């Protein structure tokens, strides 16, 4: 059971946007036992779309197409799919109703003819009703193969994929189970890890594959297996993990499926009924936003303050000016004072602070670009750690956020 994903849109090929739809669809298909053979991104060009559809039909059982379904002239996917199947477009009454409903309840502006015309679909297609947008999804079967066309707007595509495409695929095809289990490691290079686990890797059964995913001092080891007996496959993978874990126990930190670090932290704080506040300087709100992007943050998160200008560290957080003058604004002392004051100000159980220089200029600080101090304050304790995180602004900010999460996780899980 193989699928091909075709994403259509000039904006992808000129690099104006990153195609995130394919990863979502790939993951979703894997979750129901469908492997993705290939992802193909192509221009809004009729001949190219026809060629890609024909190639995909030759390679795969399921062809998932996104993009090019908008109401404007640059969107040609629907007409091209119609040509591919030698079909004609017919107006679908249920889609017309849906579009009218969307305009009445949400858009609240006069409806355009081009939007009403989005209700035209190939006569051979079944409608996948798009409740959150005017472009309908389409499902066309041919010789036991399935072609699905969805809009490229990510949240419309996601809703269609989850609520309609996956359930229909599950009914139509008998599928194996695909299982991925990813081990997270910190602090050792992939070749060192490979050397440590070489014998184990060489003896893996054929239907279980190992992949190394290195990224900024962190290596993910992914075991992937496929089989029709879910229980057996699960046992096999668990058994392999039992063998490999002792070999890497000094660098192993957890499994990827357990969620991102901030989610683990949020869960633990909520369980402990403890609260958190944040005082950010160089991370500029990124740490706060990392926590608040997830629902339920209000149960443990009191708030955060971004004291970007040096003066605001004294004005808002009441960090003593003498500490800043004596030690400089990028220092362990200032980081710790920020965390202590933040905790008091927000009346939280814990506070995390960051101060550093993300670059590209030196700013108010004497510190080298990439130098970051992170401090954590709790009821009876404050401590800080210094990091050198390179000289690329975006990477310094992200690494500092990751380090803060890593430090704080150790702090709250240590008991």
Residues 44-63 contacting its own copies, CB under 8 A: 44, 48, 52
Among 64, 278, 334, 400, binds its own copies (CB under 8 A): 278
Q: From residue 204, how far is each of 3, 197, 254, 320 by CA, in Å?
A: 26, 11, 21, 59
- Return the closest-CA partner of residue 262 out of 301, 236, 228: 301
- Give the separation between CA 64 and CA 69, rounded to whole angstroms: 14
Q: Which stretches of 10-76 are DSSP H helices?
A: 10-13, 21-31, 46-59
DSSP per-residue codes, 328-388: -SSSHHHHHHHHHHHHHHHT-SEEEEEEE--SSS-TT--SPTTEEEEEEEETTEEEEEEEE
Smallest distance, its own copies to C-beta of residue 394, A: 7
- Return the closest-CA partner of residue 366 out of 415, 317, 330: 330
Residue 153 makes contact with its own copies by CB under 8 A = yes
Among 228, 309, 321, 410, binds its own copies (CB under 8 A): 309
Residue 329 makes contact with its own copies by CB under 8 A = no
Smallest distance, its own copies to C-beta of residue 163, A: 14
95: exposed, middle or buried (C-beta count within 10 Å: 0-12, 13-18, 19+)?
Answer: buried
Q: Which stretches of 148-295 are DSSP H helices?
A: 154-160, 166-172, 190-196, 198-202, 230-244, 261-272, 286-292
Smallest distance, its own copies to C-beta of residue 414, A: 25
Among 8, 19, 148, 372, binds its own copies (CB under 8 A): 19
Residues in region 341-360 near its own copies by CB under 8 A: 345-347, 359-360
Residues in region 113-152 near its own copies by CB under 8 A: 114-115
Among 8, 33, 42, 80, binds its own copies (CB under 8 A): 42
Between 164 and 290, name the residue whose CB sits nearer to its own copies. 290
Between 202 and 379, name the residue whose CB sits nearer to its own copies. 202
Between 124 and 237, name the residue whose CB sits nearer to its own copies. 237
Between 33 and 137, name the residue whose CB sits nearer to its own copies. 33
Smallest distance, its own copies to C-beta of residue 290, A: 8
Residue 245 makes contact with its own copies by CB under 8 A = no
CA 357 and chain centroid, separation: 27
Among 74, 141, 238, 321, binds its own copies (CB under 8 A): 74
Smallest distance, its own copies to C-beta of residue 291, A: 8
Phi, psi dihedrals of residue 123, rounded to the nearest 5°: -65, -25
User: Residue 300 corresponds to which tokens in the numbers above?
Assistant: 């443990």
Residue 271 makes contact with its own copies by CB under 8 A = no
Only one of the segments 123-131, 236-244, 257-265, 296-304 lies at the binding site for its own copies (rule: CB under 8 A); that segment is 296-304
Residue 186 makes contact with its own copies by CB under 8 A = no
Residue 71 makes contact with its own copies by CB under 8 A = yes
Among 54, 93, 131, 211, binds its own copies (CB under 8 A): 211
DSSP run (H or E) holding 96 = helix 93-102
């Amino acid at each position: 059971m193989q699928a091909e994903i075709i994403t259509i849109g000039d904006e992808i090929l000129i690099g104006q946007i990153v195609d995130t739809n394919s990863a979502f669809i790939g993951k979703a298909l894997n979750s129901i036992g469908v492997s993705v053979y290939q992802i193909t991104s192509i221009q809004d060009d009729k001949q190219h779309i026809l060629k890609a559809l024909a190639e995909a039909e030759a390679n795969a059982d399921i062809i998932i197409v996104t993009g090019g379904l908008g109401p404007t002239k640059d969107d040609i996917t629907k007409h091209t799919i119609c040509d591919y199947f030698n079909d004609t477009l017919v107006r679908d009454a249920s889609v017309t109703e849906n579009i009218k409903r969307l305009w009445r309840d949400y858009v609240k502006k006069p409806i355009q003819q081009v939007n009403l015309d989005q209700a035209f679909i190939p006569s051979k297609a079944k409608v996948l009703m798009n409740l959150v947008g005017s472009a309908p999804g389409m499902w066309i079967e041919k010789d036991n193969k399935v072609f699905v066309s969805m809009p490229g707007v990510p949240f419309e595509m996601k809703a269609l994929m989850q609520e309609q495409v996956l359930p229909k695929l599950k009914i139509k095809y008998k599928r194996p189970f695909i299982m991925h289990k990813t081990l997270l490691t910190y602090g050792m290079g992939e070749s060192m890890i490979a050397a440590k686990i070489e014998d184990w890797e060489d003896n893996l059964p054929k239907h279980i594959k190992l992949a190394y995913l290195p990224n900024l001092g962190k290596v993910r080891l992914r075991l992937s297996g496929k089989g029709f007996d879910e229980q057996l496959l699960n046992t096999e993978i668990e058994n392999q993990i039992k063998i490999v874990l002792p070999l890497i126990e000094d660098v192993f930190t957890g499994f990827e499926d357990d969620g991102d670090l901030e989610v683990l932290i949020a869960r633990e704080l909520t369980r402990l009924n403890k609260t958190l506040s944040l005082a950010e300087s160089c991370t500029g709100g990124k740490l706060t936003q990392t926590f608040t992007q997830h629902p339920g943050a209000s149960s443990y998160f009191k708030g955060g303050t971004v004291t970007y200008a040096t003066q605001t560290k004294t004005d808002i957080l009441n960090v003593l000016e003498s500490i800043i003058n004596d030690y400089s604004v990028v220092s362990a002392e200032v980081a710790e004072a920020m965390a202590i004051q933040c905790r008091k100000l927000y009346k939280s159980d814990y506070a995390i602070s960051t101060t550093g220089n993300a670059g590209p200029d030196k700013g108010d600080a004497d510190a080298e670009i990439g130098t970051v101090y992170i401090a954590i304050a709790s009821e009876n304790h404050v401590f800080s750690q210094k990091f050198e995180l390179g000289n690329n602004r975006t990477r310094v900010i992200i690494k500092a956020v990751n380090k803060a999460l890593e430090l704080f996780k150790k702090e709250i899980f240590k008991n």
